[in-house]
Amino acid sequence: MNRVYNFSAGPATLPEEVLEQASKEMLNYGGTGMSVMEMSHRSKAFDNIIKTAEQDLRDIMEIPDNYKVLFLQGGASLQFAMIPLNLMTDKKKVLMMNTGAWSKKAIAEAKKFGEVVVKASSEESTFNYIPDVDSLDFSEEADYVYITSNNTIYGTRFTKLPEVGDKPLVADMSSNILSEKINVSDYGIIFAGAQKNIGPAGVTIVIIREDLIGKADDSVPTMLNYKTHEKSDSLFNTPPTYSIYIAGLVFKWIKEKGGITAMEKINIEKANILYNYLDESELFSGTAEVKDRSLMNIPFILPTDELNAQFIKEAETKGFVNLKGHRSVGGMRASIYNSMPTEGVEKLVAFMKEFETANKN
Ligand SMILES: *Cc1c(COP(=O)(O)O)cnc(C)c1O
């Protein structure tokens, strides 16, 4: 069996151990005589799957008891609307940071529901840095403050949070949840589409402080009200059962590997292998500002479009796939989520060195 090193930004590579276990359980899950895909979401077996997944996530992220974990659908993108619908209820105002394409989409959506104050933006330099939050004043009245904690396309991340006082901080962690230790109680809402660092597409994790549930107006559609999903333990309607099952296996895998502390240590080592080479190379260069570099998504470029195209093509023949960068940045992007083994990054860098030797003049 030939597996490639898949550097896709999402849907992304999953741990081989998880895929193997899922394949073993494909036809007959836990003696039920059926696949998880075929079982009722109200069955005992599935109840156990979703409850165990939630508990494992609570354990690895150390989620306090006054936070609810919801398994929703609609992707991270639906949260761009659900968050203002549920939270922009008092001041009808939100303070947002514009640090990339996903922030921009969240800003555009929030504007449909109230006033958006964009506190800072790095758009003028293709979002290659995070504006300094310490020099910004977040004291004005607003229902909440919003950030994208890791910018998947540009390879930047917040290494420091804004001082928001008692306003809830909402974070889109789609591409860095579970990658490094965070303090859940610093946030009002943490949300993430699963397909980057959690599991298959289809499930969106929302971690929400209890007091932020139940604020939505009665006119808000039932499915878009957090209260609906909180009351029914994410079983108001049929949830994405198979995605939740795989996400649960990934949470167990993280636990067995030593939890998020262990993930973070490996992620720092992994990212440094690539960053150190980008810094010493005379041919390749990283595009994000050093102080804001992501541990998960690493964009880099060669001096010409021709070399970029040649590199991507040659890399693919060696089994390093999905390295093409987002069109807004160009060049390459290596997404190295928790499931990317260190060996994958080491081998990629070895190949980049060969490429440099062959192509420098
Ligand atoms: C991928 C991504 C999204 C969009 O996720 P969907 O689940 O496709 O809606 C939003 N935010 C960030 C940071 C992302 O990386």
Beta strands 150-151 and 156-157 are antiparallel
- pLDDT, tens digit (0-9, with 9 covering 90-100), for 265-315: 999 999 999 999 999 999 999 999 999 999 999 999 999 999 999 999 999
Give the span between the Cα atoms of 55 and 244, in whole angstroms. 13
- pLDDT, tens digit (0-9, with 9 covering 90-100), for 33-87: 999 999 999 999 999 999 999 999 999 999 999 999 999 999 999 999 999 999 9
DSSP string, 193-208: ETTTTTSSTT-EEEEE
- What pLDDT is attached to residue 360? 86
Tokens of 66: 């006054």
The pLDDT of 99-115, averaged and rounded, is 98
- What pLDDT is attached to residue 361? 73
The pLDDT of 175-198, averaged and rounded, is 98
Is 237 annotated in a binding site? The answer is yes
Give catalytic status of residue 313 as yes or no. Answer: no
SS3 204: strand
Give catalytic status of residue 102 as yes or no. Answer: yes
Read off the amino acid at residue 300.
F
Among residues 56, 68, 143, 172, which one is catalytic?
172
- What pLDDT is attached to residue 33? 98
- pLDDT, tens digit (0-9, with 9 covering 90-100), for 5-21: 999 999 999 999 999 99
Other CB atoms within 10 A of residue 212 CB: 20
Is residue 31's pLDDT more than 80?
yes
Q: With both helix axes pointing from N to C terminus, report the angle between 241-256 and 44-61 in degrees, rounded to the nearest 10.
A: 40
> Which residues are CB-contacts of 197 (< 8 A; sequence separation ≥ 6)?
12, 175, 176, 177, 178, 179, 296, 337, 338, 339
- pLDDT, tens digit (0-9, with 9 covering 90-100), for 192-249: 999 999 999 999 999 999 999 999 999 999 999 999 999 999 999 999 999 999 999 9
List, in order of start, the domains of the chain with CATH numbers.
Answer: 16-256 (3.40.640.10), 259-359 (3.90.1150.10)
Which residue's structure tokens are 């799957």? Answer: 49
Could you say which DSSP state residue 198 is in?
T
Determine the distance separating the centroid of ligand 1 and the alpha carbon of 104, expressed in angstroms: 12
- What pLDDT is attached to residue 340? 98
Percent of the chain scored above 90 by pLDDT?
99
Provide the residue count of the chain. Answer: 361
**Cross-strand partners of 87:** none
The answer to whether the CB of 247 falls within 8 A of the CB of 255 is no
Give the span between the Cα atoms of 184 and 352, in whole angstroms. 38
Percent of the chain scored above 70 by pLDDT?
100
Tokens of 84: 């203002």
**Cross-strand partners of 298:** 334
Q: Cβ-count burial of 60 within 10 angstroms (0-12 exposed, 13-18 middle, 19+ buried)?
A: buried
Among residues 68, 167, 196, 270, which one is catalytic?
196
Determine the distance separating the centroid of ligand 1 and the alpha carbon of 193, expressed in angstroms: 6
Tokens of 202: 């289809």
Ligand 1 nearest-atom number relative to CA 151 = 13
Question: Alpha helix (H) ranges present in 257-334?
Answer: 259-280, 305-317
SS3 327: coil
- pLDDT, tens digit (0-9, with 9 covering 90-100), for 129-162: 999 999 999 999 999 999 999 999 999 999 999 9
209 backbone φψ class: left, alpha, beta (φ>0; ψ -120 to 50): beta
Q: How far is CA 262 from the centre of its chain?
A: 18
- What pLDDT is attached to residue 1? 61
Give catalytic status of residue 211 as yes or no. Answer: no
Other CB atoms within 10 A of residue 223 CB: 14
- What pLDDT is attached to residue 2? 87
| Ligand 1 probe mutation, 158, 174, 175, 196, most atoms within 8 A of CB | 174
What predicted TM-score, i.e. pTM, was given to this entire model?
A: 0.98
Is 201 annotated in a binding site? The answer is no
- Arithmetic mean of pLDDT over the chain: 97
Q: Which residue from 162, 60, 26, 153 is spatially nearest to 99, judged by alpha carbons?
A: 153
Read off the amino acid at residue 264.
E
The answer to whether the CB of 122 falls within 8 A of the CB of 133 is no
Give the span between the Cα atoms of 93 and 337, in whole angstroms. 34
